[in-house]
Amino acid sequence: MKNNFISYSKKQLGNGLKNIYSNKVVLMFLILCIIGIATTGKPLSFTVSEVLTRFGRNTFLVLALIIPVLAGLGLNFGIVVGAMAAQISIFFVIYWGFTGITGLILCVLICTPIAILFGFLVGCLYNKTKGAEMITGMVLAYFADGLYQLFFLFILGGIIPINDTTLMISGGIGVKNTIDLTGNLKYSLDTVSMLLLFRILLILYFVFSVANVFLRRKKQGNTEYKILLSKIIGTILLLILTFIPAIRDFLGTDRLLLLDAITIGCVLASLFAVIKICVIKLIQKHKDIEINRYIAMIIVAIIVYALTYIPVVYDITLSISLPVCTYAAIILICGFNRWILSTRLGQNMRTVGQSRTVANSAGINVNKTRIIAMCISTVLASWGQLIYLQNLGTFSTYGAHSMVGQYAIAALLVGGASVQMANNKQAILGVILFHTLFVVAPLSASNLFGSSLIGEYFRVFICYGVIALALAMHAWKTIKKPTKQQKETK
Protein backbone atom coordinates (compact mmCIF):
# COMPACT_ATOMS: atom_id res chain seq x y z
CA MET A 1 0.00 0.00 0.00
CA LYS A 2 2.83 2.33 0.94
CA ASN A 3 4.71 1.50 -2.27
CA ASN A 4 1.59 2.19 -4.33
CA PHE A 5 1.15 5.57 -2.65
CA ILE A 6 4.82 6.48 -3.29
CA SER A 7 4.61 5.45 -6.95
CA TYR A 8 1.37 7.43 -7.36
CA SER A 9 2.97 10.49 -5.73
CA LYS A 10 5.98 10.23 -8.02
CA LYS A 11 3.71 9.96 -11.03
CA GLN A 12 1.72 13.03 -9.98
CA LEU A 13 4.94 14.95 -9.31
CA GLY A 14 6.25 13.96 -12.73
CA ASN A 15 3.04 15.11 -14.42
CA GLY A 16 3.17 18.40 -12.50
CA LEU A 17 6.78 19.04 -13.53
CA LYS A 18 5.90 18.14 -17.11
CA ASN A 19 3.02 20.66 -17.12
CA ILE A 20 5.28 23.34 -15.66
CA TYR A 21 7.90 22.69 -18.33
CA SER A 22 5.33 22.76 -21.15
CA ASN A 23 4.09 26.16 -19.89
CA LYS A 24 7.53 27.62 -19.18
CA VAL A 25 7.04 30.63 -21.49
CA VAL A 26 3.75 31.55 -19.78
CA LEU A 27 5.30 31.23 -16.32
CA MET A 28 8.34 33.29 -17.34
CA PHE A 29 6.15 36.13 -18.59
CA LEU A 30 3.91 35.91 -15.56
CA ILE A 31 6.94 36.34 -13.27
CA LEU A 32 8.27 39.24 -15.38
CA CYS A 33 4.86 40.93 -15.28
CA ILE A 34 4.59 40.59 -11.49
CA ILE A 35 8.09 42.04 -11.03
CA GLY A 36 7.31 44.85 -13.48
CA ILE A 37 4.01 45.76 -11.80
CA ALA A 38 5.71 45.83 -8.39
CA THR A 39 8.47 48.20 -9.60
CA THR A 40 6.58 50.66 -11.82
CA GLY A 41 5.87 53.13 -9.04
CA LYS A 42 2.36 53.54 -10.45
CA PRO A 43 -0.95 52.47 -8.83
CA LEU A 44 -2.32 49.11 -9.89
CA SER A 45 -5.41 50.77 -11.37
CA PHE A 46 -3.20 52.54 -13.94
CA THR A 47 -1.68 49.26 -15.15
CA VAL A 48 -5.05 47.47 -15.27
CA SER A 49 -6.64 50.34 -17.22
CA GLU A 50 -3.80 50.43 -19.77
CA VAL A 51 -3.81 46.65 -20.23
CA LEU A 52 -7.58 46.52 -20.74
CA THR A 53 -7.36 49.31 -23.33
CA ARG A 54 -4.66 47.40 -25.22
CA PHE A 55 -6.62 44.17 -24.80
CA GLY A 56 -9.66 45.61 -26.56
CA ARG A 57 -7.45 47.13 -29.24
CA ASN A 58 -5.26 44.12 -30.11
CA THR A 59 -7.04 40.87 -29.24
CA PHE A 60 -9.09 40.59 -32.45
CA LEU A 61 -5.88 40.58 -34.51
CA VAL A 62 -4.32 37.84 -32.39
CA LEU A 63 -7.44 35.66 -32.61
CA ALA A 64 -7.21 35.93 -36.42
CA LEU A 65 -4.06 33.75 -36.25
CA ILE A 66 -5.68 30.64 -34.77
CA ILE A 67 -7.28 29.09 -37.86
CA PRO A 68 -4.08 29.10 -40.02
CA VAL A 69 -2.13 27.47 -37.17
CA LEU A 70 -4.65 24.63 -36.89
CA ALA A 71 -4.75 24.27 -40.69
CA GLY A 72 -0.99 23.58 -40.77
CA LEU A 73 0.04 26.97 -42.15
CA GLY A 74 2.02 27.86 -39.04
CA LEU A 75 2.31 31.38 -37.68
CA ASN A 76 0.70 33.55 -40.32
CA PHE A 77 3.07 36.45 -40.92
CA GLY A 78 0.91 37.12 -43.99
CA ILE A 79 -1.81 38.82 -41.90
CA VAL A 80 0.02 42.04 -42.78
CA VAL A 81 -1.78 42.02 -46.14
CA GLY A 82 -5.10 41.95 -44.28
CA ALA A 83 -4.04 45.04 -42.35
CA MET A 84 -3.15 46.72 -45.65
CA ALA A 85 -6.62 45.97 -47.02
CA ALA A 86 -8.14 47.66 -43.95
CA GLN A 87 -5.92 50.73 -44.35
CA ILE A 88 -6.81 51.10 -48.03
CA SER A 89 -10.51 51.10 -47.10
CA ILE A 90 -9.93 53.64 -44.30
CA PHE A 91 -8.26 56.10 -46.67
CA PHE A 92 -11.12 56.06 -49.18
CA VAL A 93 -13.85 56.21 -46.52
CA ILE A 94 -12.19 59.30 -45.01
CA TYR A 95 -11.73 60.81 -48.47
CA TRP A 96 -15.42 60.31 -49.25
CA GLY A 97 -16.40 61.94 -45.97
CA PHE A 98 -18.15 59.10 -44.13
CA THR A 99 -17.98 59.14 -40.34
CA GLY A 100 -18.95 57.14 -37.27
CA ILE A 101 -20.36 53.64 -37.39
CA THR A 102 -21.58 54.24 -40.97
CA GLY A 103 -18.01 54.89 -42.06
CA LEU A 104 -16.76 51.81 -40.20
CA ILE A 105 -19.39 49.57 -41.81
CA LEU A 106 -18.39 50.95 -45.20
CA CYS A 107 -14.75 50.16 -44.34
CA VAL A 108 -15.77 46.56 -43.62
CA LEU A 109 -17.67 46.32 -46.91
CA ILE A 110 -14.68 47.66 -48.87
CA CYS A 111 -11.86 45.80 -47.13
CA THR A 112 -13.56 42.38 -47.02
CA PRO A 113 -13.43 41.59 -50.78
CA ILE A 114 -9.91 43.06 -50.97
CA ALA A 115 -8.83 40.87 -48.05
CA ILE A 116 -10.43 37.79 -49.65
CA LEU A 117 -8.47 38.48 -52.85
CA PHE A 118 -5.23 38.97 -50.90
CA GLY A 119 -5.92 35.83 -48.84
CA PHE A 120 -6.56 33.79 -51.98
CA LEU A 121 -3.29 34.94 -53.55
CA VAL A 122 -1.34 34.28 -50.33
CA GLY A 123 -2.97 30.85 -50.00
CA CYS A 124 -1.98 29.96 -53.56
CA LEU A 125 1.59 31.05 -52.81
CA TYR A 126 1.68 28.99 -49.60
CA ASN A 127 0.49 25.95 -51.55
CA LYS A 128 3.56 26.33 -53.77
CA THR A 129 5.87 26.57 -50.75
CA LYS A 130 4.52 23.84 -48.46
CA GLY A 131 6.69 23.43 -45.38
CA ALA A 132 8.13 26.94 -45.63
CA GLU A 133 4.98 29.02 -45.11
CA MET A 134 6.36 31.14 -42.28
CA ILE A 135 9.51 32.31 -44.04
CA THR A 136 7.39 32.83 -47.17
CA GLY A 137 5.00 34.98 -45.13
CA MET A 138 7.89 37.10 -43.81
CA VAL A 139 9.27 37.75 -47.30
CA LEU A 140 5.76 38.31 -48.65
CA ALA A 141 5.12 40.98 -46.00
CA TYR A 142 8.12 42.99 -47.25
CA PHE A 143 7.12 42.53 -50.90
CA ALA A 144 3.52 43.55 -50.18
CA ASP A 145 4.79 46.58 -48.25
CA GLY A 146 6.65 47.74 -51.35
CA LEU A 147 3.51 47.52 -53.47
CA TYR A 148 1.50 49.22 -50.72
CA GLN A 149 3.93 52.16 -50.57
CA LEU A 150 3.90 52.43 -54.36
CA PHE A 151 0.12 52.68 -54.23
CA PHE A 152 0.06 55.35 -51.51
CA LEU A 153 3.13 57.32 -52.65
CA PHE A 154 2.62 57.40 -56.40
CA ILE A 155 -0.65 55.93 -57.65
CA LEU A 156 -2.82 57.99 -55.28
CA GLY A 157 -2.53 61.49 -56.65
CA GLY A 158 -0.29 60.46 -59.54
CA ILE A 159 -2.68 58.17 -61.42
CA ILE A 160 -5.84 58.28 -59.30
CA PRO A 161 -6.69 61.96 -58.74
CA ILE A 162 -7.21 62.86 -55.06
CA ASN A 163 -8.52 66.38 -54.52
CA ASP A 164 -8.04 66.73 -50.78
CA THR A 165 -5.11 68.77 -49.49
CA THR A 166 -5.65 67.54 -45.91
CA LEU A 167 -4.80 63.98 -46.95
CA MET A 168 -2.12 64.53 -49.59
CA ILE A 169 1.50 65.67 -49.49
CA SER A 170 2.08 69.19 -50.83
CA GLY A 171 2.23 68.80 -54.59
CA GLY A 172 -0.80 66.50 -54.73
CA ILE A 173 1.07 63.20 -55.24
CA GLY A 174 1.33 60.79 -52.33
CA VAL A 175 -0.56 60.49 -49.04
CA LYS A 176 0.62 62.17 -45.84
CA ASN A 177 2.53 60.14 -43.26
CA THR A 178 -0.15 60.49 -40.58
CA ILE A 179 -3.91 60.90 -40.88
CA ASP A 180 -5.92 61.99 -37.85
CA LEU A 181 -9.10 59.93 -37.43
CA THR A 182 -10.67 62.40 -34.98
CA GLY A 183 -14.07 63.52 -36.22
CA ASN A 184 -14.51 60.63 -38.65
CA LEU A 185 -13.62 57.08 -37.56
CA LYS A 186 -12.09 57.54 -34.11
CA TYR A 187 -14.01 55.47 -31.53
CA SER A 188 -16.62 54.66 -34.18
CA LEU A 189 -17.03 51.14 -32.78
CA ASP A 190 -16.23 51.96 -29.15
CA THR A 191 -19.09 54.45 -28.94
CA VAL A 192 -21.86 52.14 -30.20
CA SER A 193 -24.40 51.83 -27.38
CA MET A 194 -25.26 48.54 -25.70
CA LEU A 195 -28.91 49.11 -26.58
CA LEU A 196 -28.25 49.34 -30.31
CA LEU A 197 -25.90 46.35 -30.23
CA PHE A 198 -28.37 44.23 -28.23
CA ARG A 199 -31.28 45.05 -30.55
CA ILE A 200 -29.24 44.31 -33.67
CA LEU A 201 -28.17 40.93 -32.26
CA LEU A 202 -31.76 40.09 -31.30
CA ILE A 203 -33.06 41.04 -34.75
CA LEU A 204 -30.37 38.95 -36.46
CA TYR A 205 -31.15 36.00 -34.20
CA PHE A 206 -34.87 36.44 -34.89
CA VAL A 207 -34.30 36.41 -38.67
CA PHE A 208 -32.05 33.35 -38.35
CA SER A 209 -34.62 31.51 -36.20
CA VAL A 210 -37.50 32.30 -38.59
CA ALA A 211 -35.48 31.07 -41.56
CA ASN A 212 -34.56 27.96 -39.57
CA VAL A 213 -38.24 27.26 -38.81
CA PHE A 214 -39.20 27.30 -42.47
CA LEU A 215 -36.19 25.17 -43.46
CA ARG A 216 -36.85 22.58 -40.73
CA ARG A 217 -40.57 22.47 -41.53
CA LYS A 218 -39.86 21.96 -45.20
CA LYS A 219 -37.21 19.27 -44.71
CA GLN A 220 -38.18 17.46 -41.51
CA GLY A 221 -41.83 18.27 -40.89
CA ASN A 222 -42.47 19.21 -37.23
CA THR A 223 -39.10 18.03 -35.88
CA GLU A 224 -37.91 20.53 -33.28
CA TYR A 225 -40.52 22.92 -34.65
CA LYS A 226 -41.88 23.85 -31.19
CA ILE A 227 -38.38 24.50 -29.82
CA LEU A 228 -37.60 26.89 -32.66
CA LEU A 229 -40.93 28.69 -32.18
CA SER A 230 -40.17 29.10 -28.46
CA LYS A 231 -36.84 30.68 -29.38
CA ILE A 232 -38.61 33.16 -31.66
CA ILE A 233 -41.11 34.06 -28.93
CA GLY A 234 -38.30 34.45 -26.40
CA THR A 235 -36.41 36.75 -28.78
CA ILE A 236 -39.50 38.93 -29.27
CA LEU A 237 -40.01 39.16 -25.49
CA LEU A 238 -36.37 40.19 -24.96
CA LEU A 239 -36.74 42.84 -27.65
CA ILE A 240 -39.87 44.19 -25.92
CA LEU A 241 -37.99 44.33 -22.59
CA THR A 242 -35.45 46.76 -24.12
CA PHE A 243 -38.24 49.39 -24.31
CA ILE A 244 -38.77 49.37 -20.53
CA PRO A 245 -37.32 52.72 -19.30
CA ALA A 246 -35.03 51.28 -16.60
CA ILE A 247 -33.54 48.67 -18.95
CA ARG A 248 -33.36 51.15 -21.82
CA ASP A 249 -31.47 53.67 -19.68
CA PHE A 250 -28.99 51.03 -18.46
CA LEU A 251 -28.33 49.77 -22.00
CA GLY A 252 -28.26 53.26 -23.51
CA THR A 253 -24.56 53.86 -22.74
CA ASP A 254 -21.57 52.68 -24.76
CA ARG A 255 -19.43 51.84 -21.71
CA LEU A 256 -19.83 49.30 -18.94
CA LEU A 257 -18.17 49.52 -15.55
CA LEU A 258 -15.70 46.71 -14.99
CA LEU A 259 -17.57 45.80 -11.80
CA ASP A 260 -20.85 45.45 -13.72
CA ALA A 261 -19.10 43.47 -16.46
CA ILE A 262 -17.67 41.01 -13.90
CA THR A 263 -21.05 40.67 -12.17
CA ILE A 264 -22.93 40.06 -15.43
CA GLY A 265 -20.25 37.62 -16.63
CA CYS A 266 -20.32 35.61 -13.40
CA VAL A 267 -24.14 35.46 -13.38
CA LEU A 268 -24.32 34.37 -17.04
CA ALA A 269 -21.58 31.77 -16.55
CA SER A 270 -23.37 30.35 -13.52
CA LEU A 271 -26.75 30.24 -15.30
CA PHE A 272 -25.15 28.58 -18.31
CA ALA A 273 -23.51 25.95 -16.07
CA VAL A 274 -26.76 25.28 -14.18
CA ILE A 275 -28.72 24.84 -17.43
CA LYS A 276 -26.04 22.50 -18.79
CA ILE A 277 -26.09 20.41 -15.60
CA CYS A 278 -29.91 20.13 -15.78
CA VAL A 279 -29.75 19.09 -19.44
CA ILE A 280 -27.08 16.47 -18.71
CA LYS A 281 -29.09 15.10 -15.77
CA LEU A 282 -32.32 14.87 -17.79
CA ILE A 283 -31.03 13.77 -21.18
CA GLN A 284 -27.44 12.50 -20.94
CA LYS A 285 -27.09 10.22 -17.96
CA HIS A 286 -23.80 8.99 -16.47
CA LYS A 287 -21.83 12.07 -17.58
CA ASP A 288 -20.16 12.84 -14.25
CA ILE A 289 -17.03 14.30 -15.87
CA GLU A 290 -19.04 16.95 -17.75
CA ILE A 291 -21.08 17.75 -14.63
CA ASN A 292 -17.90 18.24 -12.59
CA ARG A 293 -16.62 20.65 -15.23
CA TYR A 294 -19.73 22.82 -14.99
CA ILE A 295 -19.67 22.68 -11.19
CA ALA A 296 -16.08 23.94 -11.38
CA MET A 297 -17.30 26.76 -13.63
CA ILE A 298 -19.83 27.82 -10.99
CA ILE A 299 -17.19 27.72 -8.24
CA VAL A 300 -14.79 29.84 -10.32
CA ALA A 301 -17.56 32.37 -11.04
CA ILE A 302 -18.34 32.63 -7.30
CA ILE A 303 -14.65 33.11 -6.45
CA VAL A 304 -14.18 35.80 -9.13
CA TYR A 305 -17.24 37.69 -7.90
CA ALA A 306 -16.12 37.35 -4.27
CA LEU A 307 -12.78 38.96 -5.19
CA THR A 308 -14.63 42.18 -6.06
CA TYR A 309 -15.35 42.66 -2.34
CA ILE A 310 -11.64 43.16 -1.65
CA PRO A 311 -11.27 46.97 -1.23
CA VAL A 312 -8.37 47.37 -3.70
CA VAL A 313 -10.11 45.25 -6.36
CA TYR A 314 -13.42 47.02 -5.73
CA ASP A 315 -11.84 50.46 -6.25
CA ILE A 316 -10.19 49.31 -9.50
CA THR A 317 -13.40 47.81 -10.89
CA LEU A 318 -15.27 51.03 -10.15
CA SER A 319 -12.66 53.24 -11.85
CA ILE A 320 -12.52 51.40 -15.20
CA SER A 321 -15.19 51.26 -17.90
CA LEU A 322 -15.07 49.05 -20.99
CA PRO A 323 -16.25 49.78 -24.56
CA VAL A 324 -18.98 47.17 -24.86
CA CYS A 325 -19.14 46.81 -28.65
CA THR A 326 -15.38 46.29 -28.97
CA TYR A 327 -15.41 43.55 -26.35
CA ALA A 328 -18.52 42.06 -27.96
CA ALA A 329 -16.55 41.79 -31.22
CA ILE A 330 -13.87 39.82 -29.35
CA ILE A 331 -16.50 37.48 -27.90
CA LEU A 332 -18.02 37.00 -31.36
CA ILE A 333 -14.72 36.05 -32.99
CA CYS A 334 -14.03 33.60 -30.14
CA GLY A 335 -17.43 32.05 -30.82
CA PHE A 336 -16.74 32.04 -34.55
CA ASN A 337 -13.43 30.21 -34.07
CA ARG A 338 -15.11 27.56 -31.90
CA TRP A 339 -18.02 27.21 -34.32
CA ILE A 340 -16.03 26.90 -37.53
CA LEU A 341 -13.70 24.31 -36.01
CA SER A 342 -16.75 22.21 -35.10
CA THR A 343 -17.99 22.19 -38.71
CA ARG A 344 -16.90 19.81 -41.44
CA LEU A 345 -14.66 22.51 -42.89
CA GLY A 346 -13.03 22.99 -39.50
CA GLN A 347 -12.46 19.26 -39.10
CA ASN A 348 -10.88 19.22 -42.56
CA MET A 349 -8.59 22.06 -41.49
CA ARG A 350 -7.51 20.11 -38.40
CA THR A 351 -6.85 17.01 -40.48
CA VAL A 352 -4.81 18.97 -43.01
CA GLY A 353 -2.85 20.57 -40.17
CA GLN A 354 -2.06 17.22 -38.58
CA SER A 355 -1.09 15.38 -41.76
CA ARG A 356 -1.51 16.36 -45.40
CA THR A 357 -0.96 12.72 -46.40
CA VAL A 358 -3.84 11.50 -44.23
CA ALA A 359 -6.01 14.36 -45.49
CA ASN A 360 -5.35 13.40 -49.11
CA SER A 361 -6.15 9.77 -48.32
CA ALA A 362 -9.45 10.88 -46.75
CA GLY A 363 -10.43 12.70 -49.94
CA ILE A 364 -9.91 16.22 -48.58
CA ASN A 365 -8.86 18.86 -51.09
CA VAL A 366 -5.76 20.04 -49.18
CA ASN A 367 -4.93 23.05 -51.33
CA LYS A 368 -8.50 24.36 -51.31
CA THR A 369 -8.80 23.93 -47.53
CA ARG A 370 -5.55 25.82 -46.94
CA ILE A 371 -6.67 28.66 -49.22
CA ILE A 372 -10.01 28.95 -47.38
CA ALA A 373 -8.18 29.07 -44.03
CA MET A 374 -5.92 31.82 -45.33
CA CYS A 375 -8.84 33.84 -46.72
CA ILE A 376 -10.66 33.64 -43.36
CA SER A 377 -7.53 34.69 -41.47
CA THR A 378 -6.84 37.61 -43.81
CA VAL A 379 -10.42 38.90 -43.59
CA LEU A 380 -10.40 38.66 -39.79
CA ALA A 381 -7.03 40.43 -39.71
CA SER A 382 -8.44 43.29 -41.81
CA TRP A 383 -11.36 43.68 -39.40
CA GLY A 384 -8.96 43.51 -36.47
CA GLN A 385 -6.89 46.32 -37.97
CA LEU A 386 -10.03 48.44 -38.31
CA ILE A 387 -10.77 47.89 -34.60
CA TYR A 388 -7.16 48.71 -33.73
CA LEU A 389 -6.99 51.96 -35.72
CA GLN A 390 -10.43 53.31 -34.70
CA ASN A 391 -9.41 52.84 -31.07
CA LEU A 392 -5.93 54.33 -31.57
CA GLY A 393 -7.38 57.42 -33.27
CA THR A 394 -4.48 58.02 -35.67
CA PHE A 395 -3.55 56.31 -38.92
CA SER A 396 0.18 56.06 -39.66
CA THR A 397 -0.10 55.59 -43.41
CA TYR A 398 3.22 53.84 -43.98
CA GLY A 399 3.84 52.22 -40.61
CA ALA A 400 0.55 51.13 -39.04
CA HIS A 401 0.79 47.65 -40.58
CA SER A 402 4.55 47.10 -40.26
CA MET A 403 4.60 45.34 -36.85
CA VAL A 404 1.13 43.79 -36.94
CA GLY A 405 2.38 40.29 -37.66
CA GLN A 406 5.27 40.27 -35.18
CA TYR A 407 3.32 41.66 -32.22
CA ALA A 408 0.25 39.48 -32.80
CA ILE A 409 2.36 36.32 -33.22
CA ALA A 410 4.47 37.14 -30.15
CA ALA A 411 1.32 37.64 -28.06
CA LEU A 412 -0.10 34.31 -29.24
CA LEU A 413 3.13 32.47 -28.38
CA VAL A 414 3.35 34.10 -24.94
CA GLY A 415 -0.03 32.52 -24.12
CA GLY A 416 1.40 29.03 -24.61
CA ALA A 417 0.53 28.45 -28.26
CA SER A 418 2.95 26.81 -30.67
CA VAL A 419 3.50 26.59 -34.40
CA GLN A 420 1.18 23.56 -34.54
CA MET A 421 -1.45 24.31 -31.87
CA ALA A 422 -3.36 27.41 -30.72
CA ASN A 423 -6.74 28.21 -29.19
CA ASN A 424 -8.81 31.15 -27.92
CA LYS A 425 -7.67 30.79 -24.31
CA GLN A 426 -3.99 30.93 -25.26
CA ALA A 427 -4.60 33.99 -27.44
CA ILE A 428 -6.43 35.86 -24.67
CA LEU A 429 -3.87 34.94 -22.00
CA GLY A 430 -1.03 35.88 -24.35
CA VAL A 431 -2.49 39.32 -25.08
CA ILE A 432 -2.89 40.04 -21.35
CA LEU A 433 0.67 38.96 -20.43
CA PHE A 434 2.38 40.44 -23.49
CA HIS A 435 0.76 43.85 -23.21
CA THR A 436 1.11 43.94 -19.44
CA LEU A 437 4.86 43.63 -19.99
CA PHE A 438 4.67 46.29 -22.71
CA VAL A 439 2.98 48.68 -20.29
CA VAL A 440 5.18 48.09 -17.25
CA ALA A 441 8.63 47.57 -18.87
CA PRO A 442 9.41 51.25 -19.70
CA LEU A 443 7.95 52.48 -16.40
CA SER A 444 9.85 49.88 -14.40
CA ALA A 445 13.13 50.62 -16.22
CA SER A 446 12.65 54.35 -15.70
CA ASN A 447 11.97 53.82 -12.00
CA LEU A 448 14.89 51.41 -11.43
CA PHE A 449 17.54 52.62 -13.88
CA GLY A 450 16.47 56.17 -14.65
CA SER A 451 15.94 55.47 -18.36
CA SER A 452 12.78 54.20 -20.04
CA LEU A 453 14.81 53.26 -23.15
CA ILE A 454 16.10 50.18 -21.35
CA GLY A 455 12.51 48.98 -21.00
CA GLU A 456 11.85 49.74 -24.67
CA TYR A 457 14.87 47.68 -25.75
CA PHE A 458 13.87 44.88 -23.38
CA ARG A 459 10.32 44.53 -24.66
CA VAL A 460 11.43 44.60 -28.33
CA PHE A 461 14.02 41.94 -27.49
CA ILE A 462 11.33 39.87 -25.77
CA CYS A 463 9.02 40.18 -28.80
CA TYR A 464 11.55 38.85 -31.30
CA GLY A 465 13.04 36.44 -28.75
CA VAL A 466 9.73 34.65 -28.21
CA ILE A 467 9.22 34.27 -31.97
CA ALA A 468 12.78 33.03 -32.49
CA LEU A 469 12.41 30.52 -29.64
CA ALA A 470 9.14 29.16 -31.05
CA LEU A 471 10.61 28.76 -34.54
CA ALA A 472 13.74 27.08 -33.14
CA MET A 473 11.65 24.64 -31.07
CA HIS A 474 9.49 23.90 -34.12
CA ALA A 475 12.57 23.18 -36.22
CA TRP A 476 14.01 20.97 -33.47
CA LYS A 477 10.80 18.95 -33.16
CA THR A 478 10.46 18.44 -36.92
CA ILE A 479 13.98 17.01 -37.29
CA LYS A 480 13.51 13.33 -37.98
CA LYS A 481 15.47 11.17 -35.57
CA PRO A 482 17.27 8.19 -37.15
CA THR A 483 15.67 4.80 -36.60
CA LYS A 484 17.49 1.81 -35.09
CA GLN A 485 18.06 0.30 -38.54
CA GLN A 486 19.62 3.57 -39.80
CA LYS A 487 21.89 3.66 -36.74
CA GLU A 488 22.97 0.07 -37.30
CA THR A 489 23.63 0.80 -41.00
CA LYS A 490 25.87 3.71 -40.01
Sign of torsion, CA 386 387 393 395? negative
Instruction: Note the pLDDT of residue 21.
Output: 61
User: What is the per-residue pLDDT for 216?
Assistant: 61
Could you tell me the residue ranges of all domains in the chain? 26-63+403-477
Find out whether 70 and 353 touch, Cβ atoms under 8 Å: yes
**pLDDT reported for residue 18:** 57
* pLDDT value for 245: 85
Q: What is the pLDDT of residue 485?
A: 47
Closest CA to 305 of 320, 317, 294: 317
CA distance 159 to 156: 6
Residues of the chain under the 50 pLDDT cut: 2, 5, 8, 13, 223, 481, 483-487, 490
The predicted pLDDT at position 446 comes to 79
